[in-house]
Amino acid sequence: MNQDHSNDIIELASNLRWKVGENYHDRLTEGIYTDAAAITRDVEVRDGKAHFTFDRKLDQILTSKTFGFPIMVLILSIILWITIQGANYPSGMLATLLLENIYPFLKGVASSIGMPWWLDGFLIDGVYLALGWVIAVMLPPMAIFFPMFTLLEDFGYLPRVAFNMDNMFRKTGAHGKQALTMSMGWGCNAAGVVATRIIDSPRERLIAIITNNFSLCNGRWPTQILIATIFIGALVPPAFSGLMSTVSVIGIAMLGIAFMFLTSWLLSKTMLKGEVSTFALELPPYRPPRFWQTIYTSLIDRTLIVLWRAMVFAAPAGAVIWLSSNITVGDMTIANWMIEWMDEFGVFIGLNGVILLAYIVAIPANEIVLPTILMLTVANLNLIGVGAGDGVMFELDSEMETEAILRQGGWTLLTGINLMLFSLLHNPCSTTIYTIYKETKSWKWTAVASILPVIMGFVVCFLVAQIYRIVVG
């Protein structure tokens, strides 16, 4: 009986639907808006003063043909410059505290209670040092970068960026709101992938998902900053090195945007053919942010994220690295075997086996790339006098020291540049891959999104390496 009822209803609905015709939805929406307008007329008082005049003036400037783009670049530059300059000092302090004071203390405690060497190594040299290192290097820049970014977000600037850039997105067959999801990707690619839900049409949304990885994330900014400071900042007199490293980090971020456009264009010409269906973006009014409150909440938020990720990802990775550097098979450790195996290809494309291995270890989280590289380099070279032994993350409180180790590991300017490039162009981290699968529900697109950037990374590093070798000799 129940089922009959349902069928009755559905049948009647079908018939009536045919009767009311195709304009039904239009009439309904018009009806609702008419009601809304009538109610509003009765309860709202707008006095005659010109509203939003300041907003309009600001919009005229921020979206003008002449100033729109320079202002965008300028704002990003200022934020990065403050980050790079400002992070130095707290980073050093944290490193001193965590690695120079607490680390020996823990070691002391361990030996005083007679902990076996392998447990002590596993816990303190593996887990604790990885944790400490990630916190010292990652936390300060991110705790400076993101509060500033959040201020912009709260002010209402991001939709203007999407508005300005939409023309380019349209030309590459993508959606202007991709600018917003990209910005979210700067915090975390997984969050950026989820944010693509604001894009209505499935085709453009897929493009946004696949290209989100070209936004440097939380775990990659600090890598860029550190390598830029060591290898590129050092090319110029010390007075300008801060500026130089800022410029090169901005360059990488811009290159990421360029690759995002290129990939969007390629995808919409090949696998994801089609036209952009709709683009409608509401530009919210500017709202002055509550400065200190925003800074405070964003700071706490970032700190918690970095600490949490350090605990969940860096600590186990530290353990894995320590183990692989201490378990020997035949005459070499597991780590050595793998490095040896990948080194030829690595060097060929201007990287090396250590870097490639580090990127495999760092699939769960990009944060641990640099600590892994340093530690494996030390272990692989058996550098005497640096570090505390195989698979131990050493104290890194000065960039000079890091540089010394890397140079001993055979690093050149080319390795530095290519590491920066590869850090931009490689597979997304495992969380992001999982998120992509959840959002697309398709193994095919998850695979494309994961593998495409690595291939691009290899190709770009290869090209740069060969050209560098031809030019520099």
Site for another protein in 280-319 (CB under 8 A): 280-287, 289-290, 297, 300-301
**Which amino acid is residue 334, in one-letter code?**
I
Q: How far apart are CA 411 and CA 88, in angstroms?
A: 23
* Listed ranges 3-11, 98-106, 124-132, 260-268: which one lies at the site for another protein (CB under 8 A): 3-11
Q: How far is the CB of 90 from another protein (least distance, A)?
A: 23
Q: Which residues of 50-84 are buried (b: 16+ CB within 10 A; e: fewer)?
A: eeeeeeeebbeebeeeeebeebbeebbbebbbebb
344 exposure class (CB count in 10 Å sphere: 0-12, 13-18, 19+): exposed
Does residue 458 touch another protein according to CB under 8 A?
no
Q: How far is the CB of 4 from another protein (least distance, A)?
A: 10
Footprint of ligand GTP on 274-333 (CB under 6 A): 287
The residue (of 102 and 152) whose beta carbon lies closer to ligand GTP is 152
Contact of residue 125 among ligand GTP, another protein, none (CB under 5-8 Å per partner type): none
SS3 158: helix
For residue 187, give both structure tokens: 């915090």
Does residue 177 touch another protein according to CB under 8 A?
yes
Footprint of another protein on 146-165 (CB under 8 A): 150, 153-156, 158-159, 163-164
Q: How far is the CB of 367 from another protein (least distance, A)?
A: 21
Does residue 154 touch ligand GTP according to CB under 6 A?
yes
Does residue 8 touch another protein according to CB under 8 A?
yes
* Listed ranges 135-143, 277-285, 399-407, 421-429: which one lies at the site for another protein (CB under 8 A): 277-285
Closest CA to 420 of 135, 186, 230: 230
Q: How far apart are CA 320 and CA 341, in angstroms?
A: 19
Q: How far apart are CA 402 and CA 405, in angstroms?
A: 5
The one among 101, 197, 451, 455 contacting another protein by CB under 8 A: 197
Contact of residue 465 among ligand GTP, another protein, none (CB under 5-8 Å per partner type): another protein
Q: How far is the CB of 301 from ligand GTP (least distance, A)?
A: 14
Does residue 125 touch ligand GTP according to CB under 6 A?
no
Contact of residue 28 among ligand GTP, another protein, none (CB under 5-8 Å per partner type): another protein
Q: How far apart are CA 395 and CA 392, in angstroms?
A: 9
**Helix or strand holding residue 328 (H, E):** strand 328-329
Contact of residue 412 among another protein, ligand GTP, none (CB under 5-8 Å per partner type): none
Q: How far apart are CA 218 and CA 215, in angstroms?
A: 10
Footprint of another protein on 202-261 (CB under 8 A): 203-204
Closest CA to 414 of 463, 342, 373: 463
Strands 332-333 and 328-329 turn out to be: antiparallel
For residue 177, give both structure tokens: 């709101």
Q: How far apart are CA 392 and CA 130, in angstroms?
A: 9
* Listed ranges 78-86, 226-234, 274-282, 385-393: which one lies at the site for another protein (CB under 8 A): 274-282
The residue (of 150 and 189) whose beta carbon lies closer to ligand GTP is 150
Q: How far is the CB of 412 from ligand GTP (least distance, A)?
A: 47
**Which positions touch ligand GTP (CB under 6 A)?**
154, 287
